[in-house]
A and B are shown apart, each in its own frame.
Chain A
Amino acid sequence: MGYFVTLPAPADAEAWRNAARDAWRAGIAPDDLVFQVAGDTGDLIATASNPAPRNDAPSPLVPRDFLALAEVAIRHRDPERFALLYQTLCRIAAGERGLLDDAADPAISRLRDMAKAVRRDAHKMHAFVRFREIEGPRHVAWFEPDHFIEEAEAGFFIRRFAQLRWSITTPRVSLHWDGESLSIGPAGRRDELPPADAGEALWRAYFRAIFNPARLKPAAMRSEMPQKYWKNLPEAQDIPRLMAEAPGRVRAMVAAGAASPNPNTQRRRQIMPASVTSTDGLAELRARLLAEPMPEWASRSTQPVMGDGPLGAALMLVGEQPGDEEDLAGRAFVGPAGRLLNAALEEAEVPRDALFVTNAVKHFKFTMQGKRRLHQTPDAGDITHYRPFLREEVRLVAPRLVLSLGASALRALTGRAMPVTKSRDLQLQTEDGVPLRATVHPSYLLRLPDEVTRRTERQRFVADLARAYAEARGANLS
């Protein structure tokens, strides 16, 4: 015994849902139910109807995802879509709760393919509708979708062209927007479209000019813009000619070879203004650093990071090199080591803004490890490269004492490789005779594995900072 349901329109998800719910409540098996759309195949079976649902039967429970899938798949032109959806509904309601997750189930994979085809069709409609302007003014277009998507996609064009008045006509239906509301009208014909205008000629000229004949890849074009769309795309009329001419254009380019430089060059000398105009000595130093050739690795960093603090500061701290955060911020000691330094300074009761804080190497040297730019220790050559800038920085700040943090800084300031641990309690001098003391780099403390050592070492570091600051302010210098 067969039952028949007549739906009012080919993509009426609401009507299908009501009919399917009633049929399920009436206990009709998928094989006994036939869906048809009003107006299709002459309503051969208009007399048949499905029985009324039993009022005491519950509604089928289905996941939200099924409704979302059904709403899209129902726009597919495949006449079996209704039956396939009903059959799937019955399976889910009968207890196959995880059915939708089974991407390899033949029915689910077919429904998903349908939904995918509908979405692609909609996307192509958004892309390939071409309007022409007529009097009014009014924008009109002719489009030929594969599936029953017109009503569903009207919203896209309303949101995009809400302030225009437009019509999109297809072989099935027409959409009209008057600036305030949408109306759905009858189908139209392609030959009712108005003729091309001057603006369209500009668009075609753009399409021809943006094409690069040296990269002919027609298969890539066809896979995204299938030939069935070409007849309604004004620019596509030029495709055969562009493709035919491309090899000749490239041969001519290659045959012409290199050109001799234009004697009337556009070039002007000295057009780039010097980026730094300040008379500040440090800014000049930065400009000089930028102007000089730098190591390859340095040019991959964001910027040179110069020192920070007042000229004439009594104590100057010199670290190794900027890290990831310093590189992006353009300021020394603002990353993890900088935060540790700040905490230690506070503990030693040394105000950071009274100090001049800088690094021996002015650019961030790193290697890529996974998702991170990882600090890489500068080698002797790197330190030597930046030494003239560091010496000049020390001369400009003119501190009473310099405190080096870590081995790289000590090496840069003395010109010799020296162990930090053995130099820690010595009174040293920089190459230029400025009093110098040495301590560890704060990142050394960050790397210490065990808690006890870390605490002792941190106390020593704080003591070193306090002693250096006291010495720089007092007269306790040899």
Chain B
Amino acid sequence: MELLRKLEILADAAKYDASCASSGTDKRDSRKGGLGSTEGMGICHAYAPDGRCISLLKILLTNACVFDCAYCINRATSNTPRARFTVEEVVGLTLDFYRRNCIEGLFLSSGIIRDPDYTMEQLLRVVRSLRLDHGFHGYIHLKTIPDADPGLITEAGLYADRLSINIELPQAASLAALAPEKNFADIHTAMGSLRGQIADAKEARRTEGRAKAPRFAPAGQSTQMIIGADASDDATVLGASVGLYQGYGMRRVYYSAYSPIPDASAVLPPRAPPLVREHRLYQADWLLRFYGFGLQEIVAGGEAGMLDLAIDPKLAWALKHRETFPVDVNSAPREVLLRVPGLGTKTVGRILATRRHRGLRADDLARMGVRLTQALPFLVAVDHLPRQLDGLHLRARLTPAPVQASLF
């Protein structure tokens, strides 16, 4: 099969993984040899019309797979065309795209062929060649096979910036039903082991100095959950996320709306992906991590364990807690300001810095990047007192006009 056709098949097979981050690893460059650099900040080199960024060359080594996960286009019983790259082909494509400045590096994953150790070893051959034969300093994200030999995982951590194992679904029962070969508990065990090694390497670098310490995935680990393939509600999804962030120090939990795939399994026939739900989950995820909200608070903003799809979760929470508003933008502490709709972490920082010098007015807030329509009903400023906080129409006024139905 010619290389172009293989690339089409194996990129198509990889596109359901939402992860694209290329940030947060150690700083490297090529002035002393090799190719490439990482400078902390990730770079999105292109955007596809699906709105997703293209930062890494995201491909599978092969889409042949002995697992039969119902949600996956590459499952064993799918009729999708199969292909397999050679190690040299992946290395060649990565280096060529990198020299063109099209990518930050490689995100390599694979279907399970033969057994987990064999598959992991094939992935390792690619990254070993990139790092050792070609002095490649770009970013590498490697999908980790949960049951592979610990020695292989340790080597993977030596070359990869980030390792990831997908949790796939938020509950053990869903995973058992849709991915019979995968095991919820085994996935947690593997994540626990990655967390331990990542933490050990970080600690060793801090205490022994950079030169001596062994490297292990300096950009940490991440995972992905498919949304809408099983019946789990948002409370379950977010509960699982909180456990993953806290228990395993995840850098990111990605939510991927289950998307119609060609050649879908009879268990999960094609239907529109719940894109708004995915968006609301990301917003909730941010509120949990950076805005001091608790899981119960976020979930209570919606109804029956599901987030409100019409408005964002912070506004939903605020509308249900009108008694805590309005707050005075000139005196409220940081953690209170973070809960005001329309204020982000950056704008709150600017408010705190500026109000040390003078009282803030509404048009000051506009210049600082505050979204006034959202924020003003909840804020008091020098020249502003909100009136409509008790009004029944507040929700209607703040709900964005429904977008025209798309596609179906």
Looking at the complex, which one of A104, A128, A246, A298 makes contact with B49 (CB distance below 8 Å)?
Answer: A246
Among A7-15, A29-37, A47-55, A201-209, which stretch is in contact with chain B? Answer: A201-209
Residues of B within 8 A of A202 (CB): 3-4, 7, 93, 96-97
Of A130, A159, A235, A370, chain B has the most CB atoms within 10 Å of the CB of: A159
Inter-chain contact A102/B101, CB cutoff 8 Å: no
Query: Interface size for chain B: under 10, 10 to 19, 20 to 34, or 35 or more residues?
Result: 35 or more
- Asked whether any CB of chain B lies closer than 8 Å to the CB of A302, the reply is yes
Interface residues of B in 161-187 (CB under 8 A from A): 171-173, 181, 184-186
Interface residues of B in 1-53 (CB under 8 A from A): 3-4, 7-9, 11-12, 14-16, 29-31, 33-37, 39, 41, 43-53
Residues of A within 8 A of B287 (CB): none
Beyond A103-B368, A302-B247, whether A130 also contacts B259 by CB under 8 A is no
- Alpha-carbon separation in the docked complex, A454 to B58 (Å): 58
Looking at the complex, which one of B79, B102, B185, B351 makes contact with A294 (CB distance below 8 Å)?
Answer: B185
- Alpha-carbon separation in the docked complex, A153 to B38 (Å): 15
Inter-chain contact B354/A104, CB cutoff 8 Å: yes
Looking at the complex, which one of A199, A271, A330 makes contact with B66 (CB distance below 8 Å)?
Answer: A271
- Asked whether any CB of chain A lies closer than 8 Å to the CB of B295, the reply is yes
Looking at the complex, which one of B37, B192, B351, B364 makes contact with A160 (CB distance below 8 Å)?
Answer: B37
Inter-chain contact B261/A253, CB cutoff 8 Å: yes
B96 (CB) vs chain A CBs: closest residue: A199
Inter-chain contact B78/A262, CB cutoff 8 Å: yes
- Alpha-carbon separation in the docked complex, A265 to B79 (Å): 9
Beyond A262-B78, A302-B192, whether A373 also contacts B49 by CB under 8 A is no
- Alpha-carbon separation in the docked complex, A296 to B367 (Å): 50
Inter-chain contact A254/B15, CB cutoff 8 Å: no
Among B264-272, B313-321, B385-393, which stretch is in contact with chain A? Answer: B264-272
> What's the A-B contact tally at a CB cutoff of 8 Å?
281
Inter-chain contact A250/B407, CB cutoff 8 Å: yes
Inter-chain contact A215/B273, CB cutoff 8 Å: yes
Residues of B within 8 A of A296 (CB): 171-173
Inter-chain contact A272/B181, CB cutoff 8 Å: yes
- Asked whether any CB of chain B lies closer than 8 Å to the CB of A328, the reply is yes
Inter-chain contact B4/A201, CB cutoff 8 Å: yes
Looking at the complex, which one of B7, B100, B265, B351 makes contact with A209 (CB distance below 8 Å)?
Answer: B7
Looking at the complex, which one of B7, B33, B191, B273 makes contact with A163 (CB distance below 8 Å)?
Answer: B33
Residues of A within 8 A of B408 (CB): 250, 254
Inter-chain contact A205/B7, CB cutoff 8 Å: yes
Inter-chain contact A164/B246, CB cutoff 8 Å: no
Inter-chain contact A210/B66, CB cutoff 8 Å: no
Q: B188-200 toward A: CB 8 Å interface, digit per residue (1/0)?
A: 1101100110000
B59 (CB) vs chain A CBs: closest residue: A206
Inter-chain contact B191/A103, CB cutoff 8 Å: no
Interface residues of B in 64-120 (CB under 8 A from A): 64-68, 76-79, 82, 93, 96-97, 99-102, 111-112, 114-116
Inter-chain contact A266/B65, CB cutoff 8 Å: yes
- Asked whether any CB of chain A lies closer than 8 Å to the CB of B294, the reply is yes
Inter-chain contact A290/B185, CB cutoff 8 Å: yes
- Asked whether any CB of chain B lies closer than 8 Å to the CB of A372, the reply is yes
- Alpha-carbon separation in the docked complex, A145 to B17 (Å): 32
Beyond A302-B189, A328-B192, whether A268 also contacts B66 by CB under 8 A is yes
Among B152-160, B221-229, B237-245, B304-312, which stretch is in contact with chain A? Answer: B237-245
Inter-chain contact A209/B46, CB cutoff 8 Å: no
Inter-chain contact A126/B54, CB cutoff 8 Å: no
Looking at the complex, which one of A211, A236, A258, A328 makes contact with B50 (CB distance below 8 Å)?
Answer: A211
- Asked whether any CB of chain A lies closer than 8 Å to the CB of B284, the reply is no
Residues of A within 8 A of B11 (CB): 205-206, 209-210
Beyond A216-B407, A217-B51, whether A371 also contacts B246 by CB under 8 A is yes
Q: A208-232 toward B: CB 8 Å interface, digit per residue (1/0)?
A: 1111111111111100110000000
Residues of B within 8 A of A235 (CB): 46, 102
- Asked whether any CB of chain A lies closer than 8 Å to the CB of B334, the reply is no
- Alpha-carbon separation in the docked complex, A298 to B185 (Å): 8
Give min CB distance, B59 to chain A, whole Å: 8
Inter-chain contact B31/A258, CB cutoff 8 Å: no
- Asked whether any CB of chain B lies closer than 8 Å to the CB of A426, the reply is no
Inter-chain contact A300/B243, CB cutoff 8 Å: yes
- Asked whether any CB of chain B lies closer than 8 Å to the CB of A261, the reply is yes
- Alpha-carbon separation in the docked complex, A333 to B227 (Å): 37
- Alpha-carbon separation in the docked complex, A5 to B184 (Å): 70
- Alpha-carbon separation in the docked complex, A162 to B263 (Å): 46
A–B complex contacts, Cβ < 8 Å, 5 sampled: A101-B353, A221-B50, A258-B269, A266-B77, A299-B184
Q: Which 3 A-B pairs have the closest CB atoms?
A: A220-B51, A302-B192, A217-B51
Where the two chains meet, the residues of B that have a C-beta atom closer than 8 Å to any C-beta of A are 3-4, 7-9, 11-12, 14-16, 29-31, 33-37, 39, 41, 43-54, 57-59, 64-68, 76-79, 82, 93, 96-97, 99-102, 111-112, 114-116, 147, 171-173, 181, 184-186, 188-189, 191-192, 195-196, 239-240, 242-243, 246-248, 257, 259-266, 269-273, 275, 294-295, 350-351, 353-354, 356-358, 360, 363-365, 367-368, 406-408
Besides A127-B46, A271-B66, A273-B115, 17 other CB < 8 A contacts? A101-B354, A102-B357, A159-B31, A199-B97, A201-B4, A202-B3, A203-B97, A205-B11, A211-B50, A216-B406, A217-B51, A220-B51, A257-B270, A267-B68, A272-B147, A303-B188, A368-B239
Where the two chains meet, the residues of A that have a C-beta atom closer than 8 Å to any C-beta of B are 98, 101-104, 106, 109, 123, 126-133, 139, 141, 156, 158-164, 199-203, 205-221, 224-225, 233, 235-236, 239, 242-243, 246-247, 250, 253-254, 256-262, 265-268, 271-273, 275, 290, 294, 296, 298-303, 327-330, 368, 370-373
